[in-house]
Amino acid sequence: MAQAGIAAGPFGGNAISRVMRLAARHIRITVLLCIVLICGTFAAASTLQMQIGRERALRQAATLELERTREIAGGLGARLDRSAKVASLFAADQMGNGNAEAFLSAHPSALRNVAVVDDAGHLLKSLKQPDFRVMPSLLARAAAGRVVTAYGPLLLIAFPQNGAVTVAELNFDPVFPGAVLSHNAMTDTTGKVLASGNAWTAETLPNELSQADGAALSSGQVVTSATVPGWPLRVGGTLDAGEAVGAWYGSLPLYLFVILGPAIAGAWLAVVFVREFEKRARASDALAKLRNTSSSDARLLIRLAEAERRASEAERAKSEFVAHMSHELRTPLNAIIGFSEIISHGFFGQPGHPKYIEYARDIGSAGRELHGKIGDILEYANVEAERHPITLAPVDVAALASACVEEMTGRAFSRRIELGVVTLSDTRAMADGSAVKRVLSNLLCNALNFTPDGGNVRVEIVENDRAVIARVRDTGRGFSEDEASRAGEAFATFERVGSVTGLGLGLAIATALAERMGGEMVLVRNQAMGTTAELRLRKV
């Protein structure tokens, strides 16, 4: 036995180590299995607790309903005792003045009539003219003790007295008011229902409740049963199981929190730990590979890493420099433009020579042009650095295109260029409204710049299975193959006779914004028939 134990130890250790190595190689699968096990454990524990809580709520409701049923049974027994006592007074010749109505008035109860019969069933006397026939089986049972049975709309009670049997007719409502006791029923000792309230639907009590007090769950109802003291009767009660556990349903959110809270927290921590573990594992693998490489290869890798770091820093420094210098240049330009306007308008008096006014206007025009170019540079720098906020939401592309066309109408009219928008289908897309308007404005500006006087510029909004497409068509000179390959690059300009070119940032800004919205810019090259620029956005 000792040798077997010694041999089992290394075997068990080797098996555990193999499992650990397998888990280390497939860490994500291992973590996923752990999360499933943890969630399953919490779910099972919470399910058990919920079941226990529901059963406890049902037991408490059953206990309260049983106490209520016993109180009802006690009241029913008291009312039957009172009626039996009045019937006994009549059977003992204590009727008083002999008038039945006076006797009943003097002894308020549920009595309707009283009769006294002998063992053979012969009527000895009655309070009123009897309109019922006493059954032999009832007499046989009444000779041994109290008997209660239903007789049409009435209740008959019979009991032995002075060698005879006293039989009394009772009205149901005073004994068992159904309107008040809507969820209760009165049954005999076998469980058969003799009278019931409006909400009682069963014809008999459950078998386990027909002979003893207690509560049971039957057909989604909590059913209770209690013996009427001194009488061969039982009172049944019902309570809807949903009402019984109503308070328990209110605690369901807490159970869900108990289930989901630790599971979500554990899953999140597992993801964090896995990422950290994989990051360190990659670093360790890279370090191991670096140690295993030759010195020349290691130096080359170090140089590549250093070059990548410097390139990243240079790109960041370039963006910061452009943004900073653009801001610094725009500030003095505002002063130059403002002062040139003051001089050209002669706010402080006319200058000494007319040429001063002409030069001031030239200074203001050049300043505004430079201010616009610097603004384009600053905007491109912000877009390239992803400082431009993009919020995707359903937008109406046709409405935005119409707004852009209205803004350009005056410029097109001055050059006799026909400008319009055509909507061919639904135009709702997932995009940023301000970004879409900026892209369309840039495309329209380019189209108007490169379209000769008397030409045509049109915006079309169409759709396909996946995208909403805004096309800007012009009748100017299109792009050559070389120009089309460079279109969309920053500072790419194309000279056109009779047109003033800018810095070449309009199409670059439009392309960058389209990509950030999850769309794309497509330039259709047709040098003979003008240019078509398409902005493609995702459909809603």
What is residue 2's predicted lDDT score, i.e. its pLDDT?
41
| 263 part of a folded domain | no
What is residue 487's predicted lDDT score, i.e. its pLDDT?
63
Instruction: Tell whether 177 and 201 lie within a shared domain.
Output: yes
**Count of domains in the chain?**
3
| 306 part of a folded domain | yes
| 225 part of a folded domain | yes
End-to-end Cα separation, the chain, in angstroms: 74
- Boundary residue ending a domain (356, 383, 410): 383
Instruction: Tell whether 347 and 488 lie within a shared domain.
Output: no
What is residue 480's predicted lDDT score, i.e. its pLDDT?
62
Instruction: Tell whether 242 and 97 lie within a shared domain.
Output: yes
| Angle (deg, nearest 10), helices 433-449 and 506-516 | 150
What is residue 284's predicted lDDT score, i.e. its pLDDT?
74
| Cross-strand pairs, 151 | 154
* Radius of gyration of the chain from its Cα atoms, rounded to whole angstroms: 49
Instruction: Tell whether 409 and 448 lie within a shared domain.
Output: yes
167, 155 in Cβ contact below 8 A? Answer: no
Instruction: Tell whether 109 and 212 lie within a shared domain.
Output: yes
| 18 part of a folded domain | no
Instruction: Tell whether 108 and 242 lie within a shared domain.
Output: yes
CATH number, residue 434: 3.30.565.10
What is residue 294's predicted lDDT score, i.e. its pLDDT?
62
What are the φ and ψ backbone dihedral angles of 85, each rounded to 5 degrees? -65, -40
How many Å separate Cα 395 from the centre of its chain?
Answer: 25
| 333 part of a folded domain | yes
| Cross-strand pairs, 155 | 150, 170
Enter the tokens of residue 59.
């037991």
pTM: 0.42
What is residue 8's predicted lDDT score, i.e. its pLDDT?
45
What is residue 503's predicted lDDT score, i.e. its pLDDT?
57
| 104 part of a folded domain | yes
Instruction: Tell whether 396 and 525 lie within a shared domain.
Output: yes
Instruction: Tell whether 208 and 63 lie within a shared domain.
Output: yes
Per-residue pLDDT of the chain (540 residues; tens, 9 = 90+): 344 444 444 445 566 666 666 655 666 677 777 777 777 777 777 777 777 777 787 788 888 888 888 888 888 888 888 888 888 888 877 654 456 566 666 556 677 888 888 877 788 888 777 666 667 777 778 878 888 887 777 788 888 888 888 888 888 777 777 655 778 888 888 888 887 777 777 878 887 777 788 888 777 778 888 888 888 888 888 887 766 666 566 666 776 676 667 777 777 777 777 777 777 777 777 767 766 666 676 677 777 877 887 877 777 777 677 666 666 776 777 777 777 878 777 777 777 777 877 878 888 887 777 777 777 676 666 666 666 678 888 898 888 888 888 988 888 888 888 888 888 666 788 888 888 888 888 888 888 888 888 888 888 888 888 888 888 888 877 666 666 655 656 555 555 555 555 556 777 778 888 888 888 888 776 655 678 888 889 887
How many Å separate Cα 230 from the centre of its chain?
Answer: 59
- Boundary residue ending a domain (362, 383, 404): 383
- Boundary residue ending a domain (222, 248, 274): 248
| 362 part of a folded domain | yes
What is residue 156's predicted lDDT score, i.e. its pLDDT?
84
Domain that holds residue 339: 293-383
| Cross-strand pairs, 461 | 423, 470
CATH number, residue 337: 1.10.287
Instruction: Tell whether 334 and 360 lie within a shared domain.
Output: yes
| 468 part of a folded domain | yes
Instruction: Tell whether 396 and 351 lie within a shared domain.
Output: no
Instruction: Tell whether 419 and 520 lie within a shared domain.
Output: yes
Instruction: Tell whether 489 and 422 lie within a shared domain.
Output: yes
234, 204 in Cβ contact below 8 A? Answer: no
